[in-house]
Chains A and B, each alone.
Chain A
Amino acid sequence: MVNLANPTAFVELTRRVLPWLAAATVALFVAGLWLSFAAPPDYQQGETVKIMYLHVPAAWMATFVYAVMTAAALGTLVWRHPLADAAQKAAAPLGAGFTFICLVTGSLWGKPMWGTYWVWDARLTSVLALFIIYLGIIALWRSIEDPGRAAKAAAILTLVGAVDLPIIKFSVDWWNTLHQPASVFRLGGPTIAPSLLIPLIVMALAFTSLFLTLHLMAIENEILRRRIARVTMLAAHEGDRLAPGLAAKGA
């Protein structure tokens, strides 16, 4: 069993897995896009339903990535896993990207279907809040120089922000919203016809595979950043040790 807490072992495993994961992502996107454009139009939405094949997977990823970050924040604060803070830091920009896609594609779907790009509806507002939380976490990581302190502060903010996840999920049940209730992950099973559901599932798998690929690469980047800091410090230390010797030679 590979020790994933060891950064060197993690990088080795990542380099073995990444080509397969990247190939799976490309294959899933090709299949997903082909199925999406071959799918029949919806009886109410017409061809505009094609936006759903981007919007829904992006919305799922927006909350899934935040759930990953919440687990990583617990890993930092509770279990002190050496790579948990790297995983959390690496996931934040990706989560922000998926949330941005969700908001923009939702808005582009809303105009022809609802007659407006935006309403201050509970679901839309709580997803906008999630986007702002992502940006806040990214800003926090950048504003604190000491990596240990930055990791702790970002972990605390992530845990506080996690309260938004159940609000997003249940907003359509708790309040009267323009946004439709869940139609895939619901107790009675999906309410979508298989011809529309299958492309949606394949696109969701493509988005998940994309996230896993980019997340592993971004964690590896964080490990590299730490190595650079360590090697630079060692080089400076060697320079300090060398300086007295040179001064003595000069004297």
Chain B
Amino acid sequence: MMGDPHLGFIVAAYAVAALTIGAMIAWVVLDSRRLNAELARATQALDGAKGKRQ
């Protein structure tokens, strides 16, 4: 395969697919981490507000 005249096209196709799939995974995983942290902060704020009222 290394001597194939179209090796550059094959490598480029696999690189683009790997980058796109990597971006899709990163989008989902990073979003999940951010949202979990945000939910923890919001829950803490709610508990704090409830505590002050009591």
**Interface of A toward B, CB cutoff 8 Å:** 37, 41, 46-48, 50-51, 54-55, 58, 93-94, 97, 100-101, 104-105, 108-109, 111-112, 210, 214, 217-218, 220-221, 224-225, 227-228, 231-232, 234-235, 238-239, 241-242, 245
Contact = CB atoms under 8 A, between A and B. Distances in A.
Given A50-B13, A93-B24, A242-B49, 17 more contacts: A41-B1, A47-B1, A48-B10, A101-B16, A101-B20, A104-B13, A108-B12, A108-B13, A112-B5, A112-B6, A220-B32, A221-B28, A224-B32, A231-B43, A231-B46, A235-B48, A238-B46
26 contacts: A47-B4, A47-B7, A47-B10, A48-B4, A50-B13, A51-B13, A58-B17, A93-B24, A97-B24, A101-B20, A104-B13, A105-B17, A108-B9, A108-B16, A109-B9, A109-B13, A112-B9, A217-B29, A217-B32, A224-B32, A224-B35, A232-B45, A234-B46, A235-B45, A242-B49, A242-B52
A54 B21 CA distance: 11
Contact of B23 (A97, A221, A231): A97
B13 A105 contact: yes
Q: Which of B13, B23, B36 has the most CB of A within 10 A?
A: B13
Interface in B39-54: 39, 42-43, 45-46, 48-50, 52-53
How would you classify the secondary structure of chain B's contact residues: helix, strand, loop or mixed?
A: helix
Q: Which of A58, A104, A108, A224 has the most CB of B within 10 A?
A: A108
A67 B43 CA distance: 37
Nearest to A210: B21
A46 B35 CA distance: 47
A94 B20 CA distance: 10
Contacts of A241: 53
B20 A46 contact: no
A245 B13 contact: no
Interface residues of B, number: 35
A48 B20 contact: no
A131 to B, nearest CB: 12
A218 B9 CA distance: 32
B21 A228 contact: no
Given A108-B12, A108-B13, A100 B39 contact: no
Contacts of B27: 93
Interface of B: 1, 4-7, 9-10, 12-14, 16-17, 20-21, 23-25, 27-29, 31-32, 35-36, 38-39, 42-43, 45-46, 48-50, 52-53
